[in-house]
Amino acid sequence: MSILTVTAVNAQQKLNPEIEKKIDILMSKMTVEEKVGQMNQYNGFWDVTGPAPVGGTAEQKYENIKKALVGSMLTVRGVKEVKAVQKIAVEQTRLGIPLIIGFDVIHGYKTISPIPLAEAASWDLEAIEKSASTAASEAAASGINWTFGPMMDISRDARWGRVMEGAGEDPFLGSKIAVARIKGFQGDNSFQSPLKIAASAKHFAGYGFVVAGLEYNVAEIGQNTLYNQVLPPFKAAVDQGLKTVMTSFNTLNGIPASADQYLLREILKNKWGFSGFVISDWASIREMIPWGFSKDESAAAKSAVEAGTDMDMEGGIYLPYLIDLVKQGKVDQKYVDDAVRRILRVKYELGLFDDPYRFLDEKREKEIVGSKANNDAVLGMAKKSIVLLKNEKNLLPLKKSGQKILLLGSLASSKNSPLGSWRIAADNNTAVSVLEGMKSYKNNTLNFVEGPKLTHEEPTFLAEVHYNTTDKSGLEEAKNAAKNADVVVMVLGEHGFSSGEARSRTNIDLPGLQEEFLKEIYSVNPNVVLVLNNGRPLTINWASENIPAIVEAWHLGTQAGNAVAQVLYGDYNPSGKLPMTFPRNVGQIPMYYNDYATGRFTDKDGNVFWSHYSDAEKTPLYPFGFGLSYTTFEYSDLKINKKSFAKGESAKVSVTLKNTGKYEGKEVVQLYIHDEFASVVRPVKELKAFQLITLKPGESKSVEFNLTEMELGFYNNNGDFVVEPGSFKIMVGGSSETELTEEFELL
């Protein structure tokens, strides 16, 4: 296999010559052992976020830190704990190279924001950046200087538990959100502030396309999908100054991502000019052996380092094997030098050499972690993340007085589930529950009945969630209570630990007894508001048909209950739009809006020979980009100021948006294009721009978009970005199913 050369970083990510000089000097002093030590990351001694650590006992790890055989720790947190290990590395080793401390700051640190998929539903890039910045400030104040996020895996498969962690199915929205999150984590990339941390784009690449939605599985992806769907968010992240990348557990077309030279060297490091470093996922280098790719640990070490994986996360592979491989001449030193240079570069850029303790200020930790400002920030994010899916009989917003409201469901009183699954640093039961949020509205009578238990025991991060499918106790009590209520609010869905890593499901209905519970309550009182708590699209067909009001409230984090209550009571008019298609049934998956026409897209001849299911509709339950408001919006007068324009020119698209309802509201105006003929078949529609517009009742506004060839191009199968002349359609509206269309010609 031809080994790709290790090339110096090209211009895309500017290097600092001062830092490069310091790295030269430091590396000239380092032994091979010390170099490989930098490529070794150990898990801390408290939490595990994967299978049992293989790196050794705590004592062995401390010993290796002292021998300068550790470059990084993960899941060590808190100023005191981090200072303990950092002091060893800085004060007790020959060269005093500081550790870089990583942690999964996925949606908040201790003050938890909505799960990333929920944040994506806000389409509010400023709010998302602010959310990441809030998370970064708490993590940095706790001694962390690197987060394993943002996760930017595009996915169209709600069976996969980790859709909660990304930004949904669309590469354009996913790219914008990836950049917003990196700006929140890294700021302007100067790291002058001790409250900014290095980001890690993960999981590189193709993880969201695992076959059958199964975790850690195979991903077989063609060039067209790889270049146009999977890679764009990562490219946008590199262009934003990303500092690290994490490889994914899956194989991509037969090659484990941690050993994929094509991805790591050809694309990421050479073509895109990425100057940071690549870390494996948890033991993903070691797992190339059970994949049947590496015959043993030594072979795994060789393949991974030559491919461009610079650091081994808790895999126990690089440290024991790479030193000998280099000394025996079986691995060229240049691969180790490239990796170490990259790792040292990020440590210098973070200021860790100037002051290894700059992130370690106990007073600042006390001031920042859990502050009111941070709670206000995650509350704001949570409200914006809520999507109104249905609101008939004007059941919502709830009246603020004189109503008898019944609140039902285990999830309504849960203070743990709303935190989601990636919230290791948060203390248990620190979320504001929906019950607590609703209680703050005191002029109604509020009655709470749990009803049948959701799960047999309290779910945890490390164990399967077992839903109650048999014990109906509590159902009669709930039904009796429902008979006397004006409105019944039911909080149903998935427990927070039911989505996330290693949480694949073959059935994405409401789990356990919940649908039966819903039907029984509806049978005695049809005025039901269903509030969903979930980490993935759910196939809620019966509810969608019968329940008058449905609110998508995901897992909204620490301030979940206040956000839900303020939306239900109309103090915040819901403005979210779905970042991922909700299918009618799991058999339709993978289902996504930016689909292709195929040769037989409709039954135009009335025969059966067209692309459809004989047992189900082909349409989604709720489409990408969909979301209602307490007010209504009307789109009209879509115009493009040129019927044709040439490459290098631009055109102006305008549409009139009017608030035709009774409430002030915010609308996400979305612009899609369709390239009608091209050298590679193009999706029937692709999101290319969006704007958040707030209008008062009766107010209207002309919303304008600037259209250039950049919105019209695509990657061909060689990975080249091309813009081809031809006829295009534009569609503008409040969801991907808008009918408002205009045409133009690119010359």
Residues labelled catalytic = 281
- Told to check if 552 binds ligand GLC by CB under 6 A, we report no
- Cβ 423 to ligand GLC shortest distance, Å: 12
325 to 364: interface string for ligand GLC, x by CB under 6 A: ----------------------------------------
Q: What share of the chain is helix, strand, coil (3-state, %, to 5)?
A: 35, 20, 50
**Cα–Cα separations (whole angstroms), residue 360 to 87, 93, 328, 344, 578:** 11, 20, 41, 20, 40
Q: Binding residue for ligand GLC (CB under 6 A) from 157, 338, 450, 501? A: 501
Tally Cβ neighbours within 10 Å of residue 224: 16
Q: Find the binding residues for ligand GLC in span 191-220 (CB under 6 A).
A: 202
Residues 6+ apart with CB under 8 A from 123: 173, 576, 577, 579, 668, 690, 692
Helix (H, G, I), strand (E, B) or coil at 693: strand
Question: Taking CA 303 as the corner, what is the angle to CA 300 and CA 309, rounded to the nearest 5 degrees?
Answer: 100
Residue type, 370: G
- Cβ 366 to ligand GLC shortest distance, Å: 26
Total residues contacting ligand GLC (rule CB under 6 A)? 9
Name which of 25 and 52 has its Cβ closer to ligand GLC. 52
724 within 8 A of 678, measured Cβ to Cβ: yes
- Cβ 557 to ligand GLC shortest distance, Å: 18
Helix (H, G, I), strand (E, B) or coil at 55: coil
Q: Binding residue for ligand GLC (CB under 6 A) from 282, 359, 593, 672? A: 282
61 to 80: interface string for ligand GLC, x by CB under 6 A: -------------x------
- Told to check if 50 binds ligand GLC by CB under 6 A, we report yes
> Which H or E element spans position 307?
helix 297-307
- Cβ 104 to ligand GLC shortest distance, Å: 5
Name which of 103 and 705 has its Cβ closer to ligand GLC. 103
- Told to check if 287 binds ligand GLC by CB under 6 A, we report no
Q: What is the DSSP string of 458-520?
A: ---TTS---B-SS--TTHHHHHHHHHT-SEEEEEEE--GGGSSTT---S--S--TTHHHHHHH
- Told to check if 281 binds ligand GLC by CB under 6 A, we report yes
Number of helices (H), then strands (E), belonging to the chain: the values are 21, 27
Question: Taking CA 317 as the corner, what is the angle to CA 315 and CA 323, rounded to the nearest 5 degrees?
Answer: 145
Task: Quote the tokens at residue 665.
Answer: 């509201």
625 within 8 A of 593, measured Cβ to Cβ: yes
**Cα–Cα separations (whole angstroms), residue 629 to 167, 343, 391, 558:** 21, 48, 9, 24
Residues 6+ apart with CB under 8 A from 737: 593, 623, 625, 626
Name which of 74 and 242 has its Cβ closer to ligand GLC. 74
- Told to check if 535 binds ligand GLC by CB under 6 A, we report no
Distance CA 746, CA 51 (A): 53
- Told to check if 286 binds ligand GLC by CB under 6 A, we report no
Name which of 78 and 576 has its Cβ closer to ligand GLC. 78
- Told to check if 418 binds ligand GLC by CB under 6 A, we report no
Distance CA 600, CA 354 (A): 64
Name which of 148 and 633 has its Cβ closer to ligand GLC. 148
Distance CA 594, CA 584 (A): 17
Q: Find the binding residues for ligand GLC in span 99-138 (CB under 6 A).
A: 104
- Told to check if 234 binds ligand GLC by CB under 6 A, we report no
- Cβ 165 to ligand GLC shortest distance, Å: 8
Name which of 165 and 552 has its Cβ closer to ligand GLC. 165
Name which of 287 and 667 has its Cβ closer to ligand GLC. 287
Q: Binding residue for ligand GLC (CB under 6 A) from 123, 148, 227, 744? A: 148
Taking alpha carbons only, the member of 368, 380, 376, 373 closest to residue 118 is 380
Name which of 357 and 461 has its Cβ closer to ligand GLC. 461
- Cβ 159 to ligand GLC shortest distance, Å: 17
- Cβ 460 to ligand GLC shortest distance, Å: 16
- Cβ 597 to ligand GLC shortest distance, Å: 36
Name which of 112 and 563 has its Cβ closer to ligand GLC. 112
- Cβ 313 to ligand GLC shortest distance, Å: 7
Task: Quote the tokens at residue 356.
Answer: 């290894």
Residues within the interface to ligand GLC (CB under 6 A): 49-50, 74, 104, 148, 202, 281-282, 501
